[in-house]
């Protein structure tokens, strides 16, 4: 989860910020093995579904859910509605974990404070336990077309762990167990409010005040045609839609929500509302789990179409796309388009935000850039090189 470390299979991003006549120019390169999913080709469906979370350990639940759904759609199998609801809960639990990591670990460090691992660790353990309660034998994510309804046992076991975790989480972050995603402001004195106050005090609220349209819904038929065609590898590595770059992730999803809108009105589209969007989304995920425990239907199952072995879902970092072609039980073709490739595209949101950083020599320039990178949220490690504007004797690169 740490943006500054990446596994062997993950590769890394290389970000360079260089001065030019009027503003910085950002260069983003990648050593990510973007066609690593080709390792699945020739393997059986069962082998692939067990291999996916090992190969993609960041957002592993989202990768696994996308994989099993793509294979279901390619083979004409349909999972039971309750199975799909539990998959949605796996995504919510993973999203909560990712957002808490930012709140307790990444953001304090980037703002010059000590990390709060002692707060994160027990919440993380509880979230992992809840995921295991939902999916103890991994069948939710390794068995295409899984059937079965909840007999109440899973829900009861889950609820026993959830209510205590829910209270601890909301109290530690928001100091209020009753706050929900429609809030227009954070409770005064809460850890969340204090963090945003710290951003304001540092003068970082407006950093990254750049408009880029959120990634729209992409028609399955058109995405499938693209991933089947000659430009598939280009789309995987440098995704754009109809010639334009888009932003994906929490801010793209939450920018129209009340808290984000209130902060955008005051401070623009920069750091403050981007942080707040993750807090809003965390609350939405809590509400999703509460709704399931109350018996609500969370997910409307989509009828698989054999022509489209495609799955699109919203992972913690943004839109995740899996595409698969099968022949009986074997994988013929597999492609993955990850959120990182949208947000770290050479014309994407991160490059645009870094380009707009103030050019004056500043000891805090790296801190500002690191904060923006964290908000763009890469799924791999990265290196950052900043060449500051030469301002005469004593200036440095």
User: How many angstroms separate the CA atoms of 157 and 133, rounded?
Assistant: 7
Q: Is the pLDDT confidence value at 34 over 80?
A: no
Candidate from 13-22, 113-122, 220-229, 369-378 with smallest mean pLDDT: 13-22
DSSP-derived letter for residue 304 is: P
SS3 (DSSP) at 330: strand
Q: Is the pLDDT confidence value at 3 over 50?
A: no
Question: In this structure, are residues 245 and 347 in contact, taking their beta carbons and an 8 Å threshold?
Answer: yes
The CA dihedral of 313, 319, 325, 328, to the nearest 10 degrees, is: -30
pLDDT at residue 23, rounded to an integer: 82
**Residue 360 banded pLDDT, cuts 50, 70, 90:** low
Helices 271-293, 258-267: crossing angle, 10 deg rounding: 180
User: How many angstroms separate the CA atoms of 108 and 195, rounded?
Assistant: 8
**Residue 58 banded pLDDT, cuts 50, 70, 90:** confident
Q: Which domains, ranges and CATH numbers included, belong to the chain?
A: 12-386 (1.10.645.10)
Q: Is the pLDDT confidence value at 4 over 70?
A: no
3-state helix, strand, coil in the chain (%, to 5): 50, 10, 40
pLDDT at residue 389, rounded to an integer: 58
Q: What is the pTM of this model?
A: 0.92
Q: For a pLDDT cut of 70, what percent of the chain falls above it? A: 90
**Residue 296 banded pLDDT, cuts 50, 70, 90:** confident
- The pLDDT tens digits of the residues spanning 217-238 come to 999 999 999 999 999 999 999 9
SS3 (DSSP) at 321: strand
- The pLDDT tens digits of the residues spanning 72-131 come to 999 999 999 889 999 999 999 999 999 999 999 999 999 999 999 999 999 999 999 999
Q: Token match 């990634």: residue? A: 215
Summarize the confidence of residues 361-367 as an average pLDDT: 78
Q: Is the pLDDT confidence value at 395 over 80?
A: no
Task: Please give the angle made by the CA atoms of 154, 158 and 162, to the nearest 5 degrees.
Answer: 170
Question: In this structure, are residues 356 and 210 in contact, taking their beta carbons and an 8 Å threshold?
Answer: yes
pLDDT at residue 22, rounded to an integer: 75
User: How many angstroms separate the CA atoms of 297 and 274, rounded?
Assistant: 29
pLDDT at residue 386, rounded to an integer: 87
pLDDT at residue 317, rounded to an integer: 96
pLDDT at residue 397, rounded to an integer: 34
**Residue 179 banded pLDDT, cuts 50, 70, 90:** very high
Tell me the Ramachandran region of residue 73: left when phi exceeds 0, alpha when psi lies from -120 to 50, beta otherwise: alpha
Q: Is the pLDDT confidence value at 306 over 60?
A: no
pLDDT at residue 57, rounded to an integer: 84
**Residue 358 banded pLDDT, cuts 50, 70, 90:** confident
Question: In this structure, are residues 331 and 324 in contact, taking their beta carbons and an 8 Å threshold?
Answer: yes
User: How many angstroms separate the CA atoms of 169 and 128, rounded?
Assistant: 14
pLDDT at residue 1, rounded to an integer: 41
**Residue 364 banded pLDDT, cuts 50, 70, 90:** confident
- The pLDDT tens digits of the residues spanning 122-145 come to 999 999 999 999 999 999 999 999
Q: Is the pLDDT confidence value at 328 over 60?
A: yes
DSSP codes joined into one string, 128-192: HHHHHHHSTTSHHHHSTT------SHHHHHHHHHHHHHHHHHHHHHHS-TT--TT-SSPPTTSHH
Q: In what order do the strands lie in the sheet with 330-337?
A: 310-315, 318-327, 330-337
Which are the contacts of 336, defined by CB distance < 8 A and separation ≥ 6?
37, 56, 63, 66, 236, 320, 321, 322, 323
């Amino acid at each position: 989860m740490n943006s500054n470390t990446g596994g062997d299979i993950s590769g890394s991003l290389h970000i360079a910020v260089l001065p030019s006549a009027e503003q910085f120019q950002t260069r983003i390169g990648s050593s990510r093995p973007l066609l690593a999913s080709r390792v699945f080709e020739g393997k059986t469906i069962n082998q692939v579904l067990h291999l996916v979370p090992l190969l993609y350990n960041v957002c592993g639940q989202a990768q696994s859910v996308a994989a099993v759904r793509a294979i279901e759609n390619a083979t004409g199998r349909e999972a039971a509605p309750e199975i799909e609801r539990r998959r949605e809960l796996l995504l919510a639990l993973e999203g909560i974990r990712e957002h808490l990591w930012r709140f307790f670990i990444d953001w304090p460090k980037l703002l010059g404070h000590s990390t709060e691992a002692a707060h994160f660790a027990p919440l993380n353990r509880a979230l992992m336990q809840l995921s295991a309660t939902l999916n103890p034998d991994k069948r939710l994510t390794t068995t295409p077309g899984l059937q079965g309804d909840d007999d109440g046992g899973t829900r009861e076991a889950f609820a026993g762990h959830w209510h205590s975790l829910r209270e601890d989480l909301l109290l530690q972050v928001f100091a209020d167990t009753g706050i929900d995603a429609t809030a227009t402001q954070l409770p005064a004195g809460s850890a969340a409010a204090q963090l945003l106050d710290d951003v304001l005090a540092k003068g970082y609220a407006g950093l990254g005040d750049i408009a880029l349209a959120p990634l729209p819904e992409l028609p399955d038929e058109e995405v499938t045609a693209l991933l089947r065609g000659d430009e598939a590898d280009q789309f995987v590595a440098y995704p754009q839609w109809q010639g334009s770059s888009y932003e994906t992730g929490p801010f793209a999803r939450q920018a129209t929500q009340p808290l984000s809108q209130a902060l955008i009105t005051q401070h623009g589209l920069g750091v403050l509302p981007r942080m707040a969007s993750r807090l809003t989304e965390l609350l939405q995920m809590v509400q999703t789990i509460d709704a399931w425990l109350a018996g609500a239907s969370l997910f409307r199952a989509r009828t698989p179409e054999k022509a489209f072995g495609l799955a699109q879902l919203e992972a913690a970092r943004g839109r995740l796309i899996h595409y698969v072609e099968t022949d009986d039980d074997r994988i013929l073709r597999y492609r993955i388009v990850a959120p990182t490739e949208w947000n770290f595209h050479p014309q994407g949101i991160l490059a645009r935000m870094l380009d707009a950083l103030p050019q004056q020599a500043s000891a805090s320039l790296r801190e500002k850039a690191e904060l923006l990178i964290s908000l763009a949220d890469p799924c791999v490690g990265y290196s950052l090189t900043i060449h500051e504007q030469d301002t005469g004797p004593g200036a440095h690169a």
